[in-house]
Structure 1
Amino acid sequence: MMFLLNILLLSFLNLKVRADIFYYQPEQVHLSYGKNVYEIVVTWSTFNDTKSSVVEYGIGGMILQAEGTSKLFVDGGPERHAQYIHRVRLADLTPDSTYVYHCGSDLGWSAQFWFKTPPDNPNWQPHLAIYGDMGNENAQSLVRLQEESQRGMYDAILHVGDFAYDMDTQNAYIGDAFMRQIESVAAYVPYMTCPGNHEEKYNFSNYMERFTMPGRREDPFYSFNVGPMHIISISTELYYFLNFGLKPLVFQYEWLENDLAEANLPENREKHPWIIVMGHRPMYCSNTDKDDCTHHETLTRVGLPFLHFFGLEKLMYDYAVDLQIWAHEHSYERLWPVYNYKVYNGSYDAPYTNPGAPVQIITGSAGCKEGKDDFIPAKPEWSAFTSSDYGYTRLKAYNSTHLHLEQVSDDKAGLVIDSFWIIKNFHGPYKYSMMDWNKLDNRRLEKLTATA
C-alpha cells in the first residue's frame, strides 16, 4: 500500500514539475518568401512568451539583427494547446549570397541555419522540389529531401497540401512534431504551401497560423515570382467546406482572376512567362478511390453544382496557365495537355511542345500513414503516365521557353521514373498556341496578344 502511495506521490510531483517548466527555446523553424525572393520570413514557435522575436543573421557571420512579432495561437482541441508563433522579415537581402542565421531571444536561441539568395540575373534557373500529402508518420520521402535540401539542390519547396495527418491531432502535438520534422528542410529553403483537406479542423487554423505566406494573413491564397515563373497558390478546399461560408470562395475566385489578368500583362508575362498554379485537389485523376477527381464534373473543374459558378478549368485555360500542380491522390500522375476532357497535344511526337491546353501533374505520394493509391486498369486517354511509388517531383525553369520536370521514386532509391520538357515558343492564349510563332514579327505578336 505504501509503495502505491509513493508511486502516486511521485507521479503528482512529476506533473507539478512539468507544469512549472518554461519553454523559451525556439523550435519548428521554417522559411518562406516575403514580398519577393530577396525578402525572407523566418517563422518559429515557443511555448512561452519570450517578449521579443529576433533573428541574428549575416553573410559569413551573424552581424545583423531584425526584430518581428509573435502571436499566441491556441488550438481548438480540448486541451487548448497554446504556443507563441514568431515572425521576422529579413528584407533587402544581397543577391547570390549565403546567409547564416539563428532566431530567438535573450531567453533562448535556435541552432544555426543557413539559406542562399538567388543571383540578380534574368537567366537564373530556379530548381524546386514539389510534393503533397506528407505525414508525421511514414514520411517516406523526407530523408532524401532533407539531404538534398541541405546540399543546396533546391531554391524552394512547394508543399501542395495535407500536412502531418493531422496538425490538429492529439491537441496539435502531432502538428508540433511534424513541424520539427520538416525543420531540416524548411529552415534552409523557403517552404511554400497551400491548404489541403486534412487541415480543415477548426477552420484551417493550424495551417493558417503556423505558416507565413505572401499576401494577407487571413487569405489562403497568394502568388509570388521566382525567376521566370509566376506561381499562384490557391485553396481548393473552399469548394468542399462550404460550412465555413461561401464568401471565401467568392473572394478567392475574384482575386485569382485579377491575379491572372495582371500576370498576363505583356510587361509581366515577358519577365515571368511561366504561369503555374498549385492547389490540393486535382480536376482529373484515374485512381480507384472514388475521390471527386474520378468524377466527370469535379467541383474545382466546373464549379459548384447545378449553376457551375467559380469553375477553374475554363478560367485557367482562358488566362493561358502553363502548368497546374495538384496532390491529394497518394500517387503520381502526369496528364497530356487537356481541356474539358479533350487532349490538345502540341504534336504526336512532341506533345508538350506548344501544347494547346495547360499541362497538369498530380504529386501526392511523399508519404503518410494512409499509404498509397492505386489506378484503374483502363487508363483514360488524357492520362500519360502513372506511378504509385512514394516520391516527389523536381521542377527546373531553364528559361522562358523550357521547363523540365521529373518524378523521383523513393521506393527505387531516388531513381527518376518520369521526366519531360514543356517547351513553349509563346506564352499566351491557347487558341493561338498551335501557330508557328517564329514566322510572326514582334509587332504582329504584340498586337495579337493585346487583342486576344
Structure 2
Amino acid sequence: MELVYTIYLFLNLAPWLVLGLPPIWTQPEQVHLSYPGVPGSMEVTWTTFNKTDSTVEYGLLGGRLFDLSTQGNSTLFVDSGDEKRAMYIHRVILIGLKPTATYVYHCGSDEGWSDVFYFTALNDSVHFSPKFALYGDLGNENPQSLARLQKETQMEMYDVILHIGDFAYDMHEDNARIGDEFMRQIQSIAAYVPYMTCPGNHESTYNFSNYRNRFSMPGQTEGLWYSWNLGSAHIISISTEVYFYLDFGQELIFRQLEWLEKDLQEANHPENRAVRPWIITMGHRPMYCSDDDQDDCTKFDSYVRLGRNDTKPPAPGLEDLFYRYGTLIMGQPVYNGSMEQPYVNPKAPVHIVTGSAGCRERTDKFNPNPKDWSAFRSTDYGYTRMHVVNASHLYLEEVSDDQNGKVIDSIWLVKEKHGPSAWL
C-alpha cells in the first residue's frame, strides 16, 4: 500500500508541478498580411510570446508545398499596462511574387508553425480593377459583421480590406489581451488578403502603441500615415487623430501635413495622374457628418476640416489641401459646406462616411434635420464595398449586416476628368 500511496500523492501533486513551469509560447498566432507598396511583394506579420526565428515558407498553389522560404525578424513589444506583458511581433516581406498568382504559406519556425493559409499576389497593372471591403469600428465584443466578412473574403470577393480606425474596443484593455483576441478574430480575414489600416481614437492609449506595433504598413511612420498604389488608384491613409491628442506631439500635425502635400504633389504630376487618376484618402474622423452628438464632424469649424487656432503656429486643416489636389475622400461632393450635383463629374471631393462593422458602443443617433449634403443615412451595422472599375468609373455599395447582407445603398461615381482642373 505504501507504493500505491506514493504514486497517488505524486499524481495529485503533478498539476501543481506543471503549473510551476513557465509555458513555452513559440506557436505563431494573429497572422495577418499587408501590402508594402512595392509590386510583387507581400508582408506577413504574426505574434509569439517567446522569442523564435521569423520564417515564411510558401509556394505556388498546385506546386510543391513550401518550395520557397524567406527570413525576417521580430521586435519585442512590451504593453504599457500594469503587467507589462511582452510579445514578439514577427515581420517577413516576400518579394518577387508573380502578379495574380496564388500562394500557399505558413509562418513560424521549427519551434512552431502556423496553420496553412493562401493569398493572391496583387496585380501590378494600372488597368487592374481592384475590389475592396472598407469599414471602421470593429470590436472584439459584438463584431457583428465579422462572420459575413470572413466568408466573403474567403470566397475571394475582395482584393484588399481597408479598416479605417477603431480596433477591438480596445487593444490595450486587460493588459493588451483584448488586442490579442481581436487579432486572432480577424486572422480568418487578414491572413488571406492585405489588411490595410489607419488609426482611430480608440487606439490612442499609451500613444497608439498597440496600433503602431501590431500592424505593418508602408513607409516609416508606424502606420500613422502612408500611401500606396493599386490599379488606377493612389491610396492615402492619414491620421486624423493628430488633431486631437496634442500631448503626443503637436509637431505630428505639421509633419503629416508636410508629408501629405508632397505626396499629393507627386501623385498630381501629369505622368502619374495619367495612369492613376483616382486619389483616394482614408482617415478615421470625417469632415462632415450628421450625427446627433458633439463629435468634431458635427461642427462647421471642425478641426479636421479647418484646423486648430490654439496651437503655435496655428495648424491648418485638410479640406483646402484635398480640394487643391482633386481628391476623393472616403456622400456627397462637398467643399466649404456646399454641394454640387452628384455623382457625374462632381465639382468637389466626394466624402464617404462608412462604418460601423460592429462594436460594443452601439450606433449613434442622427440629427433629425440633416444638411443637404447628407445623401443617405443608416444606423445599421455593416460595411462598404468599393470597386475601382477603371480610370473614370468607381462603384460603391453599402451592405447592412442587420438586414442579412442586403445592399441598402449604392452609387456610381463617374469622373471623366481628374485633378484640380476638374473642379472648374
TM-score exceeds 0.5: yes
Partner of 1:131: 135
Instruction: Find the counterpart in structure 1 of residue 47 from structure 2.
Output: 45
Structure 1: distance between partners of 2:292 and 2:307? 23
Structure 2 partner of 1:93: 97
Larger CA deviation: 401-410 vs 33-42: 33-42
Moved more, 113-122 or 149-158: 113-122
Is 1:312 the equivalent of 2:303? no
- Offset of 1:269 from its aligned partner? 0.7
TM-score of the two chains, using structure 1 as the length reference: 0.88
The answer on 1:324 being equivalent to 2:325 is no
Cα displacement (A) at 1:280: 0.5
Look up the equivalent residue of 2:27 and give its one-letter code: Q
Q: Superposed, which structure 2 residues align to 1:74-89 within 5 Å?
A: 74-89=78-93
Aligned to 2:3: none
* Alpha-carbon distance change, 405 to 308 in structure 1, aligned in 2, over 3 angstroms: farther
- The answer to whether the aligner puts 1:420 opposite 2:420 as a matched pair is no
* 1:269 aligns to 2:273 (yes or no): yes
Q: Which amino acid in the other structure matches residue 142 of structure 1?
A: L
Letter in 2 for 1:235: S
Structural mapping, 1:21-420, within 5 Å: 21-50=23-52, 52-60=53-61, 61-218=65-222, 220-305=224-309, 309-321=315-327, 323-325=328-330, 335-345=331-341, 351-420=342-411
Structure 1 residue runs without a partner (length 5+): 1-9, 326-334, 346-350, 435-452
| Alpha-carbon distance in 2 for matches of 1:305, 1:298 | 11
Q: Equivalent residue for 1:447? A: none
Give the residue type in structure 2 aligned to 1:87: R
Residues 1:337 and 1:46: Cα distance change in structure 2 (over 3 Å): same
| Shift of residue 433, structure 1, vs aligned partner | 3.6
Instruction: Work out the CA distance in 1 between the residues paired with 2:254 and 2:221.
Output: 17
Cα shift at 1:308: 5.2
Q: Quick one: distance in 2 between partners of 1:270 and 1:75?
A: 45
Does the Cα contact within 8 Å between 1:426 and 1:433 map onto a contact in 2?
no
Q: Secondary structure at the match of 2:286?
A: coil
* Secondary structure class of the residue paired with 1:384: coil
2:17 and 2:364 map into 1 onto residues whose CA distance is 43
Cα distance in 2 for partners of 1:32, 1:261 equals 25
Distance 1:23 1:297 in 2: 50
CA distance in 1 between partners of 2:269 and 2:82 (Å): 50
Distance 1:69 1:122 in 2: 32
- In the alignment, the residues of structure 2 paired with residue 202 and residue 15 of structure 1 have an alpha-carbon distance, to the nearest angstrom, of 37
Q: Residue in 1 aligned with 2:5?
A: none
Q: Secondary structure at the match of 1:198?
A: helix
1:48–1:295 Cα change, 3 Å = same
Q: Assess, with a 3 A threshold, how the Cα gap between structure 1 residues 79 and 266 changes in structure 2: closer, same or farther.
A: same
Question: Corresponding residue for 1:330?
Answer: none
Looking at structure 1, the residues matched to 303 and 205 of structure 2 have their Cα atoms a distance apart, in angstroms, of: 21
Q: How many residues align?
A: 408
- The 1:312/1:120 distance shift into structure 2, 3 A limit, reads closer
CA distance in structure 1 between the partners assigned to 2:146 and 2:231 by the alignment: 26
* 2:136 and 2:356 in contact (8 A); partners too: yes
Post-superposition offset of 1:376: 1.0
Contact 1:299 1:305 in 2 (8 A): no
Instruction: Note closer, same or farther for the CA distance 1:102–1:291 as it changes in structure 2 (3 Å cut).
Output: same
Post-superposition CA distance 1:80-116 (Å, at most 9, x none): 0110000000012101210000000010000000001
Q: Quote the residue 1:438 is aligned against.
A: none
Question: CA deviation digits over 1:334-369, x for unaligned, max 9?
Answer: x22000101122xxxxx1111000001111210000
Aligned-partner Cα distance in 1 for 2:28–2:309: 46
Distance (whole Å) between structure 2 residues aligned to residue 381 and residue 357 of structure 1: 15
The answer as to whether partners of 1:37 and 1:226 remain within 8 angstroms in 2 is: no
Distance in 1 (CA, whole Å) between partners of 2:238 and 2:21 is 40
Aligned-pair CA distance for 1:119: 3.6
Query: Structure 1's 63 and 412: CA in aligned 2 closer, same or farther, altered over 3 A?
Result: same
Q: In structure 1, what is the Cα distance between the partners aligned to 2:140 and 2:288?
A: 27
Alpha-carbon distance, 1:378 to partner: 1.0
AA aligned opposite 1:77: G
Q: Deviations over 1:160-209 (max 9, x none)?
A: 00000000000000000000000000000000000000000111000000
Rounded to whole Å, the distance in 2 between the matches of 1:78 and 1:364 is 32
CA distance in 2, matches of 1:247, 1:269: 30
Partner of 1:348: none
**Cα distance in 2 between the residues matched to 1:197 and 1:122:** 34
Is contact 2:198-2:223 (8 Å) kept? no
Matching residue's letter, 2:190: A
Over 3 Å off, 4+ runs? 10-16, 118-122
| Structure 2 gap ranges (5+) | 1-11
